[in-house]
Amino acid sequence: MRHILFVLLNCLIIIVVLTSCSNDSDSKSMETETPASEINNPLYEETIRNFEHAIQNDDAQALYDLVDLNYESDVYWTVKEAKDLIDFFMSDPFALEQQVRYLENSIAQIDLLMELGIYSPDVTTRRIPFAPADEGFVFLLPNGKLAVKVFKHTLIVNENTLGDFEKIIVDYDDTDRQFKYDESSIKSRVYKNYNNEKVIDIMNVGPGNYTIKSIRIYQEEHNEYDETIQLNHNDMLVDSERKNVNIIHPFY
């Protein structure tokens, strides 16, 4: 019994000593350094205000200029898609309120990561396309710019879907993006998605409305299929299963 009490007493002493040291260290740090939040918050708060003004003023160019598209792979997002995003927020004030709150809440997290040396506003880091996996359509970056949520567009290429073909053409309406595939190019890129469907990646895009026109060519016969992908409130949520993937399922 005495041995147990002795051990407990020693543990209590160690905890008190460590807490005291930690407090002394924090006090010295506060005396010699300015908190990161006092340095960086004005920059982030200005970005959030500019974001709100761009939405309220229906200024797609201003919104586009706030975004940093510095990703490791190509991400398609233009002023036209920025206008789509503005239209979405204008039609859903609650979604805009949520988005602003997400941005405001992220400031403390960025400050903490900068204090830990994980983020640096002075270093240009190319981000992987699907980071960060947070709620919202836009996200604050350490350099004061915004990032957009990225969606991957994939095409189902199951044999019973495509049937016989010589060429598949996927054309994004009102853009300069067109993709052509034959049987060999599809076979070299095919994989199975979370639904166990055979797919190929088309491209990565930012939030917007996209009309995809696909054409199947076989023995001079052309079969067409159109599909429109539009922004919706669920796209703002974290999608741990689909990981922000939109599946194009043509019905020829």
Work out the mean pLDDT of the chain and round it to a whole number.
82
Are the CB atoms for 149 and 157 separated by under 8 Å? no
For residue 194, the SS3 value is: coil
Sign, Cα dihedral of 162, 168, 171, 176: positive
Return the percent helix, strand and coil in the chain, to nearest 5. Answer: 40, 25, 35
If asked whether residues 117 and 198 sit together in one domain, one would say: no
Q: Percent of the chain scored above 90 by pLDDT? A: 58
Region 140-152: what's the mean pLDDT? 91
Looking at 125-129, 183-187, 201-205, 230-234, which range is the least confident one?
125-129
- Tell me, yes or no, whether 17 lies in a domain: no
- Tell me, yes or no, whether 218 lies in a domain: yes
- pLDDT, tens digit, 9 for 90 and up, residues 175-220: 999 999 999 999 999 999 988 999 999 999 999 999 999 999 999 8
Q: Decide which of 120, 148, 176 is a domain's last residue.
A: 148
Region 114-118: what's the mean pLDDT? 76
Instruction: Give me the phi and psi of 45, to 5 degrees please.
Output: -65, -35
Burial 205-232 (b: 16+ CB within 10 A, else e): bbbbbbebbbbbeeeeeeeeeeeebebe
Q: Decide which of 121, 148, 175 is a domain's last residue.
A: 148
- Tell me, yes or no, whether 45 lies in a domain: yes
- pLDDT, tens digit, 9 for 90 and up, residues 32-80: 333 434 444 788 999 999 999 999 999 999 999 999 998 888 999 999 9
- Tell me, yes or no, whether 228 lies in a domain: yes
Are the CB atoms for 190 and 179 separated by under 8 Å? no
Q: Decide which of 148, 168, 197 is a domain's last residue.
A: 148
Are the CB atoms for 133 and 238 separated by under 8 Å? yes
CATH of the domain at 229: 2.60.40
Q: How many domains does the chain fold into?
A: 2
If asked whether residues 73 and 155 sit together in one domain, one would say: no
| pTM of the entire predicted model | 0.78
What residue numbers bound the domain in which 228 lies?
A: 151-248
- Tell me, yes or no, whether 16 lies in a domain: no
If asked whether residues 48 and 104 sit together in one domain, one would say: yes
Cα–Cα dist 64/67, whole Å: 5
The DSSP H or E segment spanning 97 is helix 93-115
- Tell me, yes or no, whether 10 lies in a domain: no
- Tell me, yes or no, whether 129 lies in a domain: yes
If asked whether residues 119 and 180 sit together in one domain, one would say: no
- pLDDT, tens digit, 9 for 90 and up, residues 14-33: 443 344 444 444 433 333 33
- Tell me, yes or no, whether 55 lies in a domain: yes
